[in-house]
A and B are shown apart, each in its own frame.
Chain A
Amino acid sequence: MNMHAQPQRTLAETALIDAFGERLSLLPGDGAVMVKRDDAIEAIKHGLPTRRVESWHYTDLRRLLTSVPAFEAEVAAKALDPVLDGSAVLPVLNGASSAKLPDVEGVTVQRLSEKLTDGSVAPGLDPYGADDAIGALNTAFVADGYFVDIADGTQLEKPIELQNLQSGGQAHVRLLTRVGAGAKAIIVERQAGEGGDALISSVSQLVLDEGAEVTWLIVQEQPDTATHLAQFKAHIGKDAKLTLFVMNAGGRLVRQEVVVRTTGEGADFKLRGINLLAGDTHTDTTMVLDHTVPHTTSTEVMRNVVTGKARGVFQGRINVHQYAQKTNAKMACNTLLLSDDGEFSTKPELEIFADDVVCGHGATVTEIDHDHLFYLMARGIDEKTARGLLVKAFVAEVIEELDDEALVDALEARLDGWFSTHG
């Protein structure tokens, strides 16, 4: 019996619990889904995680989530031009999927509301652990999204862009994708909004079958009025390759979790991330990577730029299971701190139960190199422009690693956009 007194609920906790009671009759789902929702709201009733929960140590959600907006947005969100030219766009606008979708050969798309109603996605709705507040929040409230199935052997010529766009209010979205054996795809997950107090939970689940190759780009450009709680979960099968690129360039309170398992030998995972942090914001990227089978590889590189009073967090945890011999994993987190009031916390963790592995991690925090700045200025480039060039260079190095001209150009354009408004 738990004897300690339940602390008084915060305004946000109360608002979420009340909203669940009001929304329940509107949420799609069969009996199995409804059971999952009940379990999830129970977890929230126990309280949002605080800094005393290890995985939330640097992001005290209970303290930071100060208010929860009403559900409905006052204005409609509009679909955006895709990040990559020619992409097939699947929009979720203010939490609702679209009935009218592009036809892409080899790709089957279903609205998630339908898959909730028929209960076929119920097994995937469980949070991944007791501290999975984002999973619980999303399972309780998820109303829509997409299920995308890319058939075995499909070589997608054009990228797919999943757009999750809000103009305020709440949205709880799930994006499920299976990439069949030997299939190849570029998928953009666009997370953006147009202002207005917003609370977004978004869970992406990706399964890569044998030999599949996917580049998945998360482009997060929420307005600074949005709380963005997101999760990306992936299983990487035998000889499959996943490159995940995460760009955080917005939001007031952001947590992007990356939960990946290598499930087949020869699986390879690359995480490349840039955090562009400004204003009085809080952005947390938390990765949990499980190497569960032998002969799998991973590399993680994060580059962070911190300005203003922004606070950033990167937690990277690599678990190498007992039988996962010959695992090769490397993780690096480099931060450029441009303001005395900004901060960045890094917590790398390696937990290794196998005895024949190569694993390493490193973290640095630096300022702009004054020799470099002098060199650029000595060529007539004014100080502001020169600093901009050097900061951009610091993060662009990670983008250029993607080694695909269209991707690099598109992401550098997003980068330029951010610098033109925050430089």
Chain B
Amino acid sequence: MLEIKNLHARIVDDGTEIIRGLDLTVKAGEVAAIMGPNGSGKSTLSYILAGREDYEVTEGDILYNGQSILEMDPAERAAAGIFLAFQYPMEIPGVATMEFLKVAMNEQRKARGEEPLKVPEFLKRVKEAAASLSMDINMLKRPLNVGFSGGEKKRAEILQMKLLEPKLCVLDETDSGLDIDALKIVADGVNALRSPDRAIVVITHYQRLLEHIVPDSVHVLYKGQVIKSGDKSLALDLETNGYAGVIGEAA
């Protein structure tokens, strides 16, 4: 489903190269965890997948279902089924959360040639999704993410993911800022989305989240490259021995 080939990318503003020859393949139905120390390029990778303009791909390619997505803008990628759950979701005053959800769902439907959702059906879906994440529906009457706690923002991201039903989900440090109860709720939300036709990329610092979202593959990112791949035991190994050993092996 996702094939990243020899990807090189830099920050547009100052030309700093962050991704330096990254290869990664994630198949449909697979949950892939990407781990790595601070500054290894994890968040950058997630932004590049979503199409953020602050980064420029200088070499290599990203294929999604066999097609390059490099020329697609963020909205086109989202409509094609790529979803990024942000590490730091943006607060947007003046945009009501409900209105935002309705526009997002219907814009994606429009891009796929589907009819817009009728209001009762839309409300029903939002209520169900919110209940499954133990979210208070009144929160959604507020402006988008404004005044939400860190945990509430993360839940709101997963709520959006449930409603938009993407095919490739990228979760950028969704565990940061969550207490253990919230972590469990969020992880259950993600696990409920596991399906044979959907790939999930979980970016995380710690093994903790992977106890709840058990990955099929684990990849260690360091200095903009995948330096080691393995199964879930690799995550446990990293938890016990730290990144130093793996980095030493690769060097």
Contact = CB atoms under 8 A, between A and B. Distances in A.
B106 to A, nearest CB: 9
Contacts of A396: 94
A7 interface: no
B160 A379 contact: yes
Contact of B78 (A380, A385, A390): A380
Interface string A363-397: 00000001110111111111101100110111011
Contact of A393 (B52, B94, B107): B94
B104 interface: yes
Interface string A389-417: 11011101100100000000000000000
Contacts of B164: 379-380
Interface string B30-57: 0000000000000000000011110000
B152 to A, nearest CB: 16
A371 B53 CA distance: 10
B140 to A, nearest CB: 15
B103 interface: yes
A179 B109 CA distance: 52
B53 to A, nearest CB: 7
A419 to B, nearest CB: 13
B100 A386 contact: no
What interface size band does chain A fall in? 20 to 34
A381 B90 contact: no
Contacts of A381: 75, 78, 103-104, 107
Contact of B75 (A371, A383, A389, A397): A383
Contacts of B108: 379-380
Contacts of B92: 372, 375-376, 390, 393
A318 to B, nearest CB: 27
Among A377, A378, A389, residue most surrounded by chain B Cβ atoms (within 10 Å): A378
Contacts of A392: 94
Given A380-B111, A389-B103, A374 B52 contact: yes
Among B50, B74, B92, residue most surrounded by chain A Cβ atoms (within 10 Å): B74
Interface string A178-196: 0000000000000000000
A389 B95 contact: yes
B79 interface: yes
B89 interface: yes
B93 interface: yes
A371 B104 contact: no
Interface in B210-225: none
A377 B73 CA distance: 8
B85 to A, nearest CB: 10
B84 interface: yes
Nearest to A303: B94
Contacts of A377: 51, 73-75, 78
Given A393-B94, A397-B93, A378 B107 contact: no
A382 B107 CA distance: 8
Interface residues of B, number: 29
Contacts of A397: 93-94
A374 B53 contact: yes
B86 interface: yes
A364 to B, nearest CB: 14
A393 B95 contact: yes
A378 B94 contact: no
Interface in B200-242: none
B107 A385 contact: yes
B60 to A, nearest CB: 22
Contacts of A383: 73, 75
B75 A375 contact: no
B179 to A, nearest CB: 25
Contacts of A375: 86, 89-90, 92
Contacts of B99: 389
Contacts of B83: 378
B73 to A, nearest CB: 7
B154 to A, nearest CB: 14
Nearest to A384: B75
Contact of B100 (A370, A371, A374, A376): A376
A378 B50 contact: yes
A384 to B, nearest CB: 10
Among B52, B93, B95, residue most surrounded by chain A Cβ atoms (within 10 Å): B95
Among B75, B89, B90, B93, residue most surrounded by chain A Cβ atoms (within 10 Å): B75
A380 B108 CA distance: 6
Nearest to B143: A393
A367 to B, nearest CB: 14
Contacts of B143: 393
Contacts of A389: 95, 99-100, 103
B90 A371 contact: yes
Contacts of B94: 390, 392-394, 396-397, 400
Among A379, A380, A382, residue most surrounded by chain B Cβ atoms (within 10 Å): A380
A344 to B, nearest CB: 19
Closest 8 CB pairs of A and B: A393-B94, A380-B78, A377-B74, A380-B108, A379-B104, A375-B90, A377-B75, A397-B94
29 contacts: A371-B90, A372-B90, A374-B52, A375-B89, A376-B92, A376-B95, A376-B104, A377-B73, A377-B75, A378-B51, A378-B74, A378-B75, A378-B77, A378-B83, A379-B78, A379-B108, A380-B104, A380-B107, A380-B108, A381-B103, A381-B107, A383-B73, A385-B103, A389-B99, A390-B92, A390-B94, A393-B93, A393-B95, A394-B94
Given A378-B78, A380-B104, A381-B104, 18 more contacts: A374-B50, A374-B74, A375-B90, A375-B92, A376-B95, A377-B51, A377-B73, A377-B74, A379-B100, A379-B164, A380-B111, A381-B78, A382-B75, A385-B107, A386-B75, A389-B95, A389-B99, A394-B94
